Amino acid sequence: MGNSLWYKNAVFYEVYVRGFKDSSNDGNGDLIGLIEKIDYLQELGIDCLWLLPIYPSPLIDDGYDISDYCSILPDYGTLEDFKALLDAAHKRGMRVITDLVLNHTSDQHPWFQAARVNRNSPYRDFYVWSDTDQKYQDARIIFLDTEKSNWTWDEAAGQYFWHRFYSSQPDLNYDNPAVQNEMLSVIEFWLELGIDGFRVDAVPYLYQREGTNCENLPETHAFLKRIRRFIDDNYSDRVLLCEANQWPQDVRSYFGDGDEFHMGFNFPVMPRIYMALRKGERAPLVDILEQIPDIPPDSQWCTFLRNHDELTLEMVTEEEREWMWQEYGPEPRMRQNLGIRRRLAPLLGNNKRKIELAYSLLFSLPGSPVIYYGDEIGMGDNIWLADRNGLRTPMQWDAGPNAGFSRAIAEKLYAPLVSSQEFGLNQVNVAAQRRDINSLWHRIRNMIRLHKENHVFGWGEFRWQDAGNDAIAAYWRTLSERSLLIINNLSPDSQNIRLRMPEACASEPVDLLSGRKMGKFEEGDLVLKLQPFQFLWLNILKI
Ligand code: BGC
């Protein structure tokens, strides 16, 4: 498609293939099902699909435990189906990236199976072994609810092995050049097939060094830069998206000097959006945005509201975490590890205006937005399912049997549909929202269109505008002559505001979202009344 910076201004959609559309009627979504729904995604305005892991796996971590890196989980289809998906997407000008899990394999991977039974196997050194469980004590445990240590004893191996996630996910040993080469071959395999890049999973943890917390080590950056070089030398228009759940300076390091990742998830901003919405104050956003360092000009943040994991509270203070748990996870069952296992709509009390406001922030703050499947219609969750499965229930397409997800009998579905009064298929489904011009789906579709049409969002500067009112998050997005003033009322009350404009402006700003003229200038000030949770994207002509 010949546009190497396409990701700067793209809208991403995170797809859980198992939950999207079942074409074979076995109760599991699959790649052909996704192809059947690709026109829907195009209609929504999506530029790039990010597929959660699609590889063979024992599914202890829903596919993030890979047992074969170069084929497709049979439930999801075949490599041929995957190629057909790429074709279907590319024909529509859409791109596809997949998850690349570098840090660990499944314990069912043939490498680990060979490694554990034979100390002399070339695969032994693919993993990190020790006679004691005392090394690297400064490394935190991530899956706190289930894991007591980052070391697990393996009887057949007669040693402990290292793992940062579930004990069924042994970490690979990147000190071994053979591991590096194997993973580069995996990368090559998928790029040769034609994928447009990778969302690279859990990148901070590739190396271990005594006396450190074993995160963000220089060796890790060196290997990631090697991947980038390999891609730059051999391919064009591909993207590497970094999953590093870290504080701003540490996330920043993954962009390098424009020679590591093209994109990185903006983990620090995400929980502050929820804080700002709950407090009805812009302060949490102002604080965190001040701390976000500049990134190289060709790089881009990925902003998101929710994803397939718990809403992580690792990158907030202890006090903030307690507050977030109280406000957003009052039931113990809602809490998981250091986070909250709920979807966007339930988190925001299913308040449509508030959900739209959250999207206004998502689409107008710096970065390329990522939408989690189902959140475009405000799907609910099921906190009673194990692990994070309650965030991964079948997509609700219509009010028919199994919400149009599958024609299998309901008992055969991989997970039950959400069936609550509030979020069941009769209340929340794509077909109904497509028919209703005022639905959340239509609002989001409009924001996606405007985000793409207005390059200020992907490319422009960001600058706060003082509104003299803590409840208002107002900011400029500017790119050469073009200026948009975004005004979000974070409060549940209406607000009269008076904005002192930095420069003289022409009268009658127009709200891009509604096409209406909004507010008026009085002595150079913009005077407006905002409804509860109202937001405006004003096109302001400077004189
Ligand atoms: C993924 C999780 C997964 C973990 C281990 C994460 O960052 O998003 O879903 O459990 O990596 O692979």
Instruction: Tell me what pLDDT residue 507 has.
Output: 65
Instruction: Tell me what pLDDT residue 314 has.
Output: 93
Q: What is the DSSP string of 406-444?
A: -SS-GGGSSSPPP--TTTSTTTS-HHHHHH-TTSHHHHH
Q: Which atom of ligand 1 is nearest to the CA of 101?
A: 12
At 539, list the tokens. 């096109």
Q: Is the pLDDT of residue 141 over 70?
A: yes
Q: Which residues pair with 131 in a beta bridge?
A: none
At residue 462, what are phi and psi to the nearest 5 degrees? -120, 130
Angle, in degrees to the nearest 10, between helices 269-279 and 352-364 = 140
Annotated active-site residue in 201, 309, 310, 376: 201
Across 425-438, average pLDDT: 98
**What spacing in Å lies between the alpha carbon of 249 and ligand 1's midpoint?**
21
Among the listed residues 403, 429, 428, the one whose alpha carbon sits nearest the alpha carbon of residue 416: 403
What order of strands is seen across the sheet that includes strand 510-511? 461-464, 472-479, 482-489, 535-539, 510-511
Among the listed residues 382, 372, 424, the one whose alpha carbon sits nearest the alpha carbon of residue 400: 424
Which residue, by CA, sits nearest to atom 3 of ligand 1?
Answer: 64
Instruction: Tell me what pLDDT residue 2 has.
Output: 60
Among the listed residues 102, 106, 125, the one whose alpha carbon sits nearest the alpha carbon of residue 115: 125
Q: Is the pLDDT of residue 297 over 70?
A: yes
Q: Do residues 65 and 168 touch, judged by C-beta distance below 8 A?
A: yes
Those residues with Cβ within 8 angstroms of residue 368's Cβ, 6 or more apart along the chain or in another chain? 7, 8, 9, 10, 11, 12, 263, 300, 301, 302, 303, 458
Instruction: Tell me what pLDDT residue 522 has.
Output: 87
pLDDT band at residue 240 using 50, 70 and 90 as cut-offs:
very high
**What spacing in Å lies between the alpha carbon of 53 and ligand 1's midpoint?**
10
- Is 243 assigned a catalytic role? yes
Q: Is 202 in the pocket of ligand 1 (CB under 6 A)?
A: yes
Instruction: Tell me what pLDDT residue 413 has.
Output: 98
**What spacing in Å lies between the alpha carbon of 358 and ligand 1's midpoint?**
24
- Is 259 assigned a catalytic role? no
Q: Is 61 in the pocket of ligand 1 (CB under 6 A)?
A: yes
Instruction: From 57, 103, 201, give the residue whose CB has the most ligand 1 atoms within 8 Å, as the site to mutate.
Output: 201
Q: Is 201 in the pocket of ligand 1 (CB under 6 A)?
A: yes
Which one is predicted more confidently, 482 or 416? 416
Q: What is the DSSP string of 94-149?
A: -EEEEEEE-SB--TTSHHHHHHHH-TTSTTGGGB-EESSS-TTTTSPPSSTTT-S-
Q: Which atom of ligand 1 is nearest to the CA of 103?
A: 12
At 282, list the tokens. 């812009």
Q: Is the pLDDT of residue 165 over 90?
A: yes
**Alpha carbons 356 and 362: distance in angstroms, whole number:** 10
Q: Which atom of ligand 1 is nearest to the CA of 164?
A: 5
Instruction: Tell me what pLDDT residue 438 has.
Output: 98
**Alpha carbons 227 and 521: distance in angstroms, whole number:** 53
**What spacing in Å lies between the alpha carbon of 314 and ligand 1's midpoint?**
14
Tally the residues of the chain: 543
Q: Which atom of ligand 1 is nearest to the CA of 308?
A: 9
Q: Do residues 11 and 369 touch, judged by C-beta distance below 8 A?
A: yes
**Alpha carbons 202 and 172: distance in angstroms, whole number:** 12
Q: Do residues 18 and 29 touch, judged by C-beta distance below 8 A?
A: yes
Q: Do residues 27 and 76 touch, judged by C-beta distance below 8 A?
A: no
Instruction: Tell me what pLDDT residue 543 has.
Output: 66
Residue-averaged pLDDT of the chain? 97
Q: Is the pLDDT of residue 542 over 80?
A: no
Q: Is 142 in the pocket of ligand 1 (CB under 6 A)?
A: no
Those residues with Cβ within 8 angstroms of residue 394's Cβ, 6 or more apart along the chain or in another chain? 19, 29, 402, 403, 405, 406, 413, 414, 415, 417
